[in-house]
Structure 1
Amino acid sequence: MSDDRTLSIGELAERASVTVKTVRFYSDRGLLPEAGRSTGGHRRYAPEALDRLRLIRSLRTLDLPVPEVGRVLDQEDALEDVIAGRLRELGSQLAALRWREAALQLLRDCDPGERADRLRLIGAVTTPPSTAALARFWRQVLPPRLPARLRSAIVEAAVPQPPADPTPAQVLAFARLHALASEAGRSGGHCRPEGRCFGKEFQMAALYDGLAEAYALAAPDLRTRRQPYQGDALDCFVAAHARSQGKQDTPVFRSRLSGVLAQAADPVIDRYWQLAAEVSAAPEPTLGAADDWLRAALDTQPAGQAD
């Protein structure tokens, strides 16, 4: 050490147990300011540079990028934000690794004849998986004049969130769901049974608002696996359809509604809900499961009430 108590680059490196190259690297990037230069033009550092260098090294062992280290050094309250951001990034990386692991297990355990098709399905999905194609599918399916609040609520409820730690079966189900939604979007097939069956004058907002309420009422019965029956949930379901068409809930209306809904069934939508349930593997029923349960409940109406 010189008489002015500053440290040479070699002295600083030795005390911090790093190489001279490391000290020069952080100095050149502005993380480790110099106190000055010697008469020979060599770098000199103040004694407090040792603590700063040790802090830099600690932050770098957490794999923080150099710009983020600079933020922490320059802003007293930046560390919490930097840590939170790094945790989110690591969470995304871990999710991607878990999906890749499950995908590899899926390919390893399937029959050789299925491997090419499954590899094609999996290869079309990003890791961690994105649900953008699924949301886009529902934006195409839903009526264009549906209020924004309803559209957003339906899309949020209809798009399953991929599990953070999936099983191989869930990876396959999501890959198939992604392929289904993507193919439907490319073909331009808009599955809008309400417009096809009820004409242009029915009120879409009234229908979808009422269906949401009916699905919520039916959810407890679906969770307990109760068989479909005529009750409050079905009354709400039928009332939603009746109000949307400006009609009354009568036995005749119910009988006709059952036939109309059967005609409106769409295999693409049915397959979507089946795969969505496999992806989520959760006790909470999908909108499709609730709709199926209510349609089955509608079919329990005694034949004598149809006329």
Structure 2
Amino acid sequence: MFPSPDGLCGIGELAEHAGVTVKTVRFYSDRGLLPEARRSAGGHRRYGPDALDRLRLIRSLRGLGLPVAEIRRVLDEEDTAGERGGAGGVLRDAVAGQLSRLGSEIRALRWREAGLRLVQECPPGERADRLRLIGSVTAPPSTAALARFWHAWLPPRMPARSMTAFLEAAVPHPPDDPGPAQVLAFARLHTLVSRPCTGGERPQPEVHRAAGTRGSALLYAGLAEAYELASDRLRRGTAPYPGAELDGFVAAYACAYGTRDTAGFRRRLVGQLAGDPRIDRYWELVAEVVTPPGGRPEPTPGTAHDWLLAALTEQTAAAA
């Protein structure tokens, strides 16, 4: 209760109690966030005893970065809660939304900082090229161009579930706090997948033409399992060798070709895979993107494929 005959206070007194300017109180009043109790005979604003707590709440919400529209929704919920009892859903959602926005802004700032360090640390003669590279991607970067690359490269009419599973493995998630080398690798990766293909369509493995819709799903499901097993071996530094990883790898191709896994098929598969178009540069850059500064290179589907192909090559050579 304010020490006045009517228990109300003027705009200046309210501003003084809250530690804000009169202009601030007027701003919130004009936007309907801070209702007046009434107007004096001279037309001056008068506020009730609950106005001070309400103004402090508004200031707290603004301090958290919530926009005026969301603050209005929070206050409306507070008013309703006072009548019905229980509230908090609107405030919880508003805070969650603000946290999400802040997270995106922080990631963008970290990518910009790493990009600036990349330009700062490179030799003067390379700065123009570096600027062009990092200027081609957003901060934080989007992986849409990488997904489009794989949609064009993978077999047509591939089931959505299989496509999604493959993209999860093949499209790297940009790190939240990258180093300059990771920013450079992602920019180069983006440039690699965005440039036009020579001669029209992207070259594709022979198995893409042999496998139909069902065959494509089985092929990439089997390859995903084999790559995961091989990645464990790569992390341990194990040399390529015939085992369950290789059996799953060969079985995926045998299923796609509609044949059995025999010694003859394995010999033919070595030749087929050796002659398939390769995208080694893509996987090299993926490894650079996902490997933190000073860390060991992480396995990728590309390095897992190479490990399995090496194991298959050695096995067939030994058998011959």
| Shared fold (TM-score, shorter chain, > 0.5) | yes
Q: Cα distance 1:186–1:4, how it changes in 2: closer, same or farther (>3 A)?
A: farther
Question: What is the aligned partner in structure 1 of residue 141 from structure 2?
Answer: 129
User: Which amino acid letter does the alignment assign opposite residue 23 of structure 1?
Assistant: V
Q: Secondary structure at the match of 2:314?
A: coil
Q: Does 1:279 align with 2:281?
A: no
**Backbone CA RMSD of aligned residues:** 2.1
Q: Cα distance 1:302–1:91, how it changes in 2: closer, same or farther (>3 A)?
A: same
User: Which amino acid letter does the alignment assign opposite residue 66 of structure 2?
Assistant: L
Question: What is the aligned partner in structure 2 of residue 106 from structure 1?
Answer: 118
Partner of residue 70 from structure 2, selected from 50, 65, 68: 68
**How many residues get paired?**
304
Query: CA-to-partner distance for each residue in 1:244-280, whole Å, 9 max, x for gaps?
Result: 11222222211111111111032xx211111001100
Q: Cα distance 1:127–1:37, how it changes in 2: closer, same or farther (>3 A)?
A: same
Question: What is the aligned partner in structure 1 of residue 280 from structure 2?
Answer: 270
Cα distance in 2 for partners of 1:64, 1:181 equals 39
Q: Cα distance 1:240–1:123, how it changes in 2: closer, same or farther (>3 A)?
A: same
Q: Is the 8 A contact 2:210 2:256 kept in 1?
A: no
Q: CA deviation at 1:11?
A: 1.6
Question: What is the aligned partner in structure 2 of residue 170 from structure 1?
Answer: 182
Q: CA deviation at 1:186?
A: 9.9
Cα distance in 2 for partners of 1:23, 1:6 equals 15
Q: Cα distance 1:69–1:185, how it changes in 2: closer, same or farther (>3 A)?
A: farther
Query: CA-to-partner distance for each residue in 1:29-75, whole Å, 9 max, x for gaps?
Result: 11101111112222111111011111111222222221222222222
Q: CA deviation at 1:303?
A: 3.0
Q: Name the stretch that deviates more: 282-291 or 16-25.
A: 282-291
Q: CA deviation at 1:199?
A: 7.5
Q: Is the 8 A contact 2:154 2:208 kept in 1?
A: no
Q: Name the stretch that deviates more: 21-30 or 248-257.
A: 248-257
Q: Name the stretch that deviates more: 157-166 or 67-76.
A: 67-76
Write out aligned runs for 1:45-124 (5 A).
45-75=47-77, 76-77=87-88, 78-124=90-136
Q: Name the stretch that deviates more: 244-253 or 100-109.
A: 244-253
Q: Secondary structure at the match of 1:44?
A: strand
Question: What is the aligned partner in structure 2 of residue 156 from structure 1?
Answer: 168
Q: Secondary structure at the match of 1:146?
A: coil
Q: Secondary structure at the match of 1:300?
A: helix
Question: What is the aligned partner in structure 1 of residue 81 from structure 2?
Answer: none
Q: Does 1:297 align with 2:311?
A: yes
Q: Does 1:236 align with 2:248?
A: yes
Q: Secondary structure at the match of 1:96?
A: helix
Q: Is the 8 A contact 1:137 1:184 kept in 2?
A: no
Q: Is the 8 A contact 2:119 2:131 kept in 1?
A: yes
User: Which amino acid letter does the alignment assign opposite residue 127 of structure 1?
Assistant: A
User: Which amino acid letter does the alignment assign opposite residue 95 of structure 2?
Assistant: I
Q: Secondary structure at the match of 1:299?
A: helix
Q: Is the 8 A contact 1:150 1:209 kept in 2?
A: yes
Q: Secondary structure at the match of 1:220?
A: helix
Q: Cα distance 1:98–1:278, how it changes in 2: closer, same or farther (>3 A)?
A: same
Question: What is the aligned partner in structure 2 of residue 190 from structure 1?
Answer: 202
Q: Is the 8 A contact 1:140 1:185 kept in 2?
A: no
Q: Name the stretch that deviates more: 82-91 or 255-264.
A: 82-91
Q: Is the 8 A contact 2:156 2:213 kept in 1?
A: no
Q: Secondary structure at the match of 2:176?
A: coil
Partner of residue 233 from structure 2, selected from 206, 216, 221: 221
Cα distance in 2 for partners of 1:47, 1:134 equals 59
**TM-score (norm: length of structure 1):** 0.92
Write out aligned runs for 1:15-26 (5 A).
15-26=17-28
Q: Is the 8 A contact 1:121 1:176 kept in 2?
A: yes
Q: Cα distance 1:146–1:199, how it changes in 2: closer, same or farther (>3 A)?
A: closer
User: Which amino acid letter does the alignment assign opposite residue 277 of structure 1?
Assistant: A
Write out aligned runs for 1:241-256 (5 A).
241-256=253-268
Cα distance in 2 for partners of 1:209, 1:59 equals 49
Q: CA deviation at 1:185?
A: 7.1
Partner of residue 218 from structure 2, selected from 199, 206, 211: 206
Cα distance in 1 for partners of 2:43, 2:157 equals 73
Q: Cα distance 1:304–1:58, how it changes in 2: closer, same or farther (>3 A)?
A: closer
Q: Does 1:143 align with 2:155?
A: yes
Q: Does 1:36 align with 2:50?
A: no
Q: Is the 8 A contact 1:201 1:245 kept in 2?
A: no
**TM-score (norm: length of structure 2):** 0.89
